[in-house]
């Protein structure tokens, strides 16, 4: 009888240890991975604003002084990249690219800076949906 009780207690302790470990490993809904992963939560406007900063870090001025009109430089860059003009590139980032990342369409995604290298300019980022690792119902 004593062995049976000891086995039951040991089983209970082991199960108790496993449950918190599993719970801690799960990603809460509507969040990004842990901060040390480099991902942080952004909305669509923040994604665009950070992208603009990346273009400017690469020496491509995006807006005229009015903050609305795209510069000739940005229009030329966008055309050379196959987007027609600055508005086409803006639409790609704001609509097309965003839709691919924001799978649950809640206007929040996780963004991560990438190392800046000759093949990876400052306006390239990693993105993942804020629900990417949660189960779908």
The residue behind tokens 């649950």 is 104
Nearest to 91 by CA among 48, 34, 136, 41: 48
Q: What phi, psi does 16 have (nearest 5°)?
A: -60, -35
* 42, burial (CB in 10 Å: exposed 0-12, middle 13-18, buried 19+): buried
Q: What is the pLDDT of residue 134?
A: 47
**CA dist., res. 12 & res. 6, Å (int):** 10
Three-state secondary structure of the chain: CHHHHHHHHHHHHHHHHHHHHHHHHCCCCCCCCCHHHCCEEEEHHHHHHHHHHHHHHCCCCCECCCCCCECHHHHHHHHHCCCCCHHHHHHHHHHHHHHHHCCCCCCEEEEEECCCECCECCCCEEEEECCCCCCCC
Per-residue pLDDT of the chain (137 residues; tens, 9 = 90+): 444 334 333 334 333 333 333 344 444 556 788 888 999 999 999 999 999 999 999 999 999 999 999 999 999 999 999 999 999 999 999 999 999 999 999 999 999 999 999 999 999 999 999 986 544 44
Per-domain residue ranges of the chain: 31-129
Q: Taking a C-beta distance cutoff of 8 angstroms, is the pair 33, 42 a contact?
A: no
Strand partners, 41: 110
């Amino acid at each position: 009888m004593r062995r049976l009780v000891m086995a039951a207690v040991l089983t209970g302790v082991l199960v108790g240890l496993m449950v918190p470990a599993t719970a801690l490993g799960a990603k809460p809904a509507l969040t990004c991975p842990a901060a040390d992963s480099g991902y942080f939560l952004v909305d669509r406007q923040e994604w665009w604003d950070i992208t603009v900063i990346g273009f400017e870090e690469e020496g491509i001025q995006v807006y005229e002084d009015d903050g609305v009109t795209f510069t000739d430089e940005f229009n030329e860059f966008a055309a050379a990249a196959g987007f027609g003009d600055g508005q086409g590139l803006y639409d790609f980032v704001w609509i097309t690219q965003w839709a691919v990342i924001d799978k649950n369409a809640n206007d929040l995604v996780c963004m991560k800076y990438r190392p800046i290298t000759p093949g990876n300019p400052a306006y390239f980022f990693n993105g993942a949906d804020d629900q990417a690792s949660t189960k779908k119902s």
